[in-house]
């Protein structure tokens, strides 16, 4: 059974896209169109908060990820079935997976090796039965894990019995590289269940599920809440989450995907003019420290976080230079007439408009900016777990620069 296309948005010829955006009134409001600082803006609610629940296969936590409706909107409007859709900052894999859902060939890279581990299994998923059978094999193997220098920190999050099971899983994967499709899937689910704020995670109550607080911070949480880590059934949690993600059936992409751990500005494995559409969101300004954010996932996956060269840009000038390098490579891989939908978000309380930096970055490169699509919604994308109430604080827009390769 193949992944089923989302019927919410019909495909349209790429040449008509801006006209379609300008005339869009799908949710009862007309698009506001205006010019500002030489850029054309198109503001509307192009995908509604009522669509926030995407296909189950997308339900993997990742910091600063966008909803599947964003790439879905542009994939439908700027590509056709069988086209190649690329994401050079694929994160949790929302764009590649949505591209596959909609019958496109998915390609993507990310400098973060966790990205491939979280994305690849969902483009070649297995059956719940196969997952449960393998979990049984792992339990029977009963691999005893050696003491770890991080054990003291890890016990702030996990009951000793739970930690032993997690370390057993970790040892199983380390011995069986390269992983087959079933191990790949189980590791992906386990990475997503390491920490969270409900019994559906391996840990005691912590937050948020898409990153790990430090052991010191967890110690304070435990003291404040008067809690100690309970025993968690690791096998049952993985099996339950697998059944949810798979929705009761196995799926496969209709076109062979190509996902790699690589920098966005250096993708020699992609042929010249081989990409029809890019939908992506680069790192924004003032991002958090990768090692601090991902120390626990990296530990489980056997990755040295200090060796991952995540880009961090404190100034608009540095960010613009980085984006120019990326577009230098995109100019090579995107075919003439192909499009780029480049989501730049809203940073520093909208005092910095990164779409203008993008315009500077592509100056002299073979890209023409067709406009900035602003998706305006009545809810905040920031979780209430951070103390932010809907419509009070946080980000309520997506800002996407639409470009055509000349």
Chain-centre distance of CA 297, in angstroms?
A: 15
Whether 127 has a pLDDT exceeding 80, the answer reads yes
- What is the tens place of the pLDDT at every residue in 212-242? 899 999 999 999 999 999 999 999 999 999 9
| pLDDT at residue 395, as a whole number | 45
Signed CA dihedral, 188, 161, 202, 206: sign only: negative
| pLDDT at residue 352, as a whole number | 77
| pLDDT at residue 380, as a whole number | 47
**Mean pLDDT, residues 183-196:** 95
Phi and psi dihedrals of 338, rounded to 5?
-75, 165
| pLDDT at residue 350, as a whole number | 62
- What is the tens place of the pLDDT at every residue in 260-297? 999 999 999 999 999 999 999 998 776 666 678 889 99
Burial of residue 321 (number of CB atoms within 10 Å: 0-12, 13-18, 19+): middle
pLDDT band per the 50, 70, 90 thresholds, residue 312: confident
**Between 233 and 311, the higher pLDDT residue:** 233
Signed CA dihedral, 203, 208, 210, 216: sign only: negative
Whether 18 has a pLDDT exceeding 80, the answer reads yes
Residue linked to tokens 């966790």? 114
- What is the tens place of the pLDDT at every residue in 163-186? 999 999 999 999 988 889 999 999
Taking a C-beta distance cutoff of 8 angstroms, is the pair 229, 155 a contact?
yes
**Mean pLDDT, residues 197-214:** 89
- What is the tens place of the pLDDT at every residue in 339-375? 999 999 776 666 778 999 999 999 999 999 999 999 9
**Mean pLDDT, residues 176-205:** 94
- This prediction has a pTM of 0.89
Which domains are present in the chain?
14-113+255-294+310-405 (3.40.50.150), 128-246 (no CATH)
Q: What percentage of residues in the chain have a pLDDT greater than 90? A: 65
The gap between the terminal CA atoms of the chain, to the nearest Å, is 38
Whether 379 has a pLDDT exceeding 80, the answer reads no
* CA gyration radius, the chain: 22
| pLDDT at residue 56, as a whole number | 79
H or E segment at 403?
strand 397-405
Taking a C-beta distance cutoff of 8 angstroms, is the pair 278, 86 a contact?
yes
**Between 303 and 397, the higher pLDDT residue:** 303
| pLDDT at residue 13, as a whole number | 46
Phi and psi dihedrals of 263, rounded to 5?
-75, 145
| pLDDT at residue 394, as a whole number | 45
Distance CA 336, CA 320 (A): 23
Mean of pLDDT over the chain: 86
Pick from 59-68, 114-123, 379-388 the range whose average pLDDT is largest.
114-123
**32: Cβ–Cβ under 8 A, 6 or more apart, which residues?**
41, 42, 43, 44
Whether 118 has a pLDDT exceeding 50, the answer reads yes
| pLDDT at residue 378, as a whole number | 66
**Mean pLDDT, residues 206-216:** 85
| pLDDT at residue 194, as a whole number | 96
Whether 248 has a pLDDT exceeding 60, the answer reads no
């Amino acid at each position: 059974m193949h992944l089923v296309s989302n019927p919410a948005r019909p495909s349209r010829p790429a040449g008509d896209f801006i006209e379609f955006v300008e005339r869009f009134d799908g949710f009862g409001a007309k698009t506001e169109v205006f010019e500002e600082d030489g850029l054309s803006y198109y503001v509307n609610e192009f995908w509604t908060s009522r669509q926030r629940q995407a296909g189950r296969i997308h339900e993997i936590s990742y910091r600063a990820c966008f909803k599947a409706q964003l790439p879905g909107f542009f994939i439908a409007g700027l590509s056709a079935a069988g086209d190649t859709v690329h994401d050079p900052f694929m994160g949790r894999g929302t764009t590649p997976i949505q591209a596959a859902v909609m019958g496109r060939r998915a390609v993507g890279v990310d400098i973060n090796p966790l990205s491939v581990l979280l994305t690849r299994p969902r483009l070649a998923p297995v059956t719940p039965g196969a997952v449960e059978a393998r979990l049984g094999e792992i339990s029977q193997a009963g691999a005893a894990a050696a003491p770890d220098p991080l054990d003291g920190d890890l016990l702030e999050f996990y009951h000793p019995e739970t930690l032993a099971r997690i370390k057993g899983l970790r040892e199983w994967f380390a011995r069986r590289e390269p992983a087959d499709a079933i191990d790949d899937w189980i590791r992906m689910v386990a990475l997503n269940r390491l920490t969270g704020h409900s019994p559906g995670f391996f840990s005691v109550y912590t937050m948020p599920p898409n990153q790990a607080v430090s052991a010191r911070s967890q110690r304070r949480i435990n003291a404040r809440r008067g809690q100690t880590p309970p025993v968690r059934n690791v096998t049952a949690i993985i099996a339950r989450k697998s059944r949810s993600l798979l929705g009761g059936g196995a799926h496969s992409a209709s076109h062979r995907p190509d996902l790699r751990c690589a920098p966005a500005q250096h993708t020699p494995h992609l042929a010249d003019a081989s990409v029809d559409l890019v939908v992506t969101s680069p790192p924004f300004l003032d991002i958090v420290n990768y090692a601090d954010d991902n120390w626990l996932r990296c530990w489980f996956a056997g990755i040295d976080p200090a060796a991952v060269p995540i880009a961090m840009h404190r100034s608009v000038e540095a960010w613009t230079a980085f984006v120019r390098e990326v577009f230098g490579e995109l100019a090579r891989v995107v075919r003439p007439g192909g499009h780029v939908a480049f989501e730049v978000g809203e940073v520093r309380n909208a005092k910095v408009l990164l779409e203008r930096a993008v315009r500077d970055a592509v100056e002299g490169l073979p890209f023409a900016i067709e406009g900035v699509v602003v998706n305006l919604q009545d809810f905040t994308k920031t979780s209430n777990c951070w103390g932010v109430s809907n419509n009070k604080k946080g980000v309520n827009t997506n800002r996407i620069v639409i470009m055509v390769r000349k």
